[in-house]
Amino acid sequence: MQEHCQTSGGQVEFAKRPRPGENIRKAGEDVEPGAIIARVGDRLTPRTLALLAGAGIAKTEVFRKVRIGLVSTGSELRNPGQVLEAGQIYNSNRILIRAMLARYAWAEVVDFGIVPDRPTNLARVLGEAAGCCDAVITTGGVSAGDEDHVVAALDRHGTRLEVLKVAMRPGKPLKIGLIGNTLFAGLPGNPNATLVTFRQIALPAIRSIAGLGNVTPEWQPGIAGFDYAKKLGRTEYVPVRAVGRDDLGRPVLEMLGRGSSASLSTMALADGIAMLAPDSAMIESGSPLRYEPFCTC
């Protein structure tokens, strides 16, 4: 090393004797010949790209971006900035899903806007979306009300619905199926239900279409900092905020709100989602939980 040497009169004086091979980078010591440096399903992160470049690889095959059609259903919806009339609400779900998908370089969103509660209109837009997208996501219109027309509109395209309801809260009316070869995910319209069903069910399916190797939610251990009684037989997902850590370093989680699927404020304040198992009727303070921080997805 230069800092261990001095030059004088055309000669070099060493302050210490170098060891044989010291500060020499041998060929193959980082990546051996024949080693696999990237696999199908890996994301090309900046670190992976640097590794490929260091191996002299200038080009590699990749999956193309997944094209996702987004359809907001509901005659009551208006976009932020518009004036609300009686019985109308702002379309927050569109902003929510677009913002979540914007984090992924492999996703391309095609926004089909707001479609009123008319079966003919819905059928036309769903057909257009399925014709040009790999996946179609709708929000609202999948429950059992008189103005919930999504299922009827899908019938006009011969859609195969594989999932009609899920024993979960929020998000029970979720619909999953295929419009031809296009994945369909019909999410409930309440914001918390939209968030939970998108992250837990729709997003893993879309990640699989994208060719990613790791598609499931990344759960972490947490500890309940609250008491909560729930119904047996269904899984509940509740918004939580980390308020400290226990002796093992696990986050202690405070539950926000009382489980309303329409609450935007609790969703905005939360650090993540805690999953409450279907076989638990009472969650007591100190109970172990599974916790998915929002930053992991």
pLDDT digits 0-9 by tens, 39-97: 999 999 999 999 999 999 999 999 999 999 999 999 999 999 999 999 999 999 999 99
Helix (H) or strand (E) holding 212: none
Q: Tell me whether residue 232 is in a domain.
A: yes
Q: Tell me whether residue 160 is in a domain.
A: yes
Same domain, 142 and 245: no
Q: Tell me whether residue 39 is in a domain.
A: no
Q: Tell me whether residue 32 is in a domain.
A: no
Burial class (CB in 10 A: 0-12, 13-18, 19+), 61: exposed
- Give dist(CA 205, CA 185) in Å, integer: 9
Helix (H) or strand (E) holding 208: helix 203-209
pLDDT at 192: 94
**What CATH number is associated with residue 259?**
2.40.340.10
pLDDT at 296: 54
Same domain, 73 and 171: yes
- Give dist(CA 239, CA 23) in Å, integer: 52
What is the secondary structure of 233-267 as a DSSP string? Answer: TSEEEEEEEEEEE-TTSPEEEEE-TT--TT-HHHH
Q: Tell me whether residue 25 is in a domain.
A: no
Q: Which two tokens stand for residue 268?
A: 């905005």
pLDDT at 258: 75
Same domain, 105 and 235: no
**What CATH number is associated with residue 167?**
3.40.980.10
- Give dist(CA 136, CA 30) in Å, integer: 44
Helix (H) or strand (E) holding 6: strand 5-8
Same domain, 229 and 258: yes
Give the Å distances, CA to CA, from 220 to 21, 47, 52, 170: 44, 24, 31, 21
Q: What is the pTM of this model?
A: 0.88
Domain that holds residue 256: 220-296
Burial class (CB in 10 A: 0-12, 13-18, 19+), 192: buried
Regions in the chain scoring below 70 on pLDDT: 259, 296-297
Q: Tell me whether residue 104 is in a domain.
A: yes
Q: Which two tokens stand for residue 277?
A: 């198992």
- Give dist(CA 116, CA 88) in Å, integer: 12
pLDDT at 240: 96
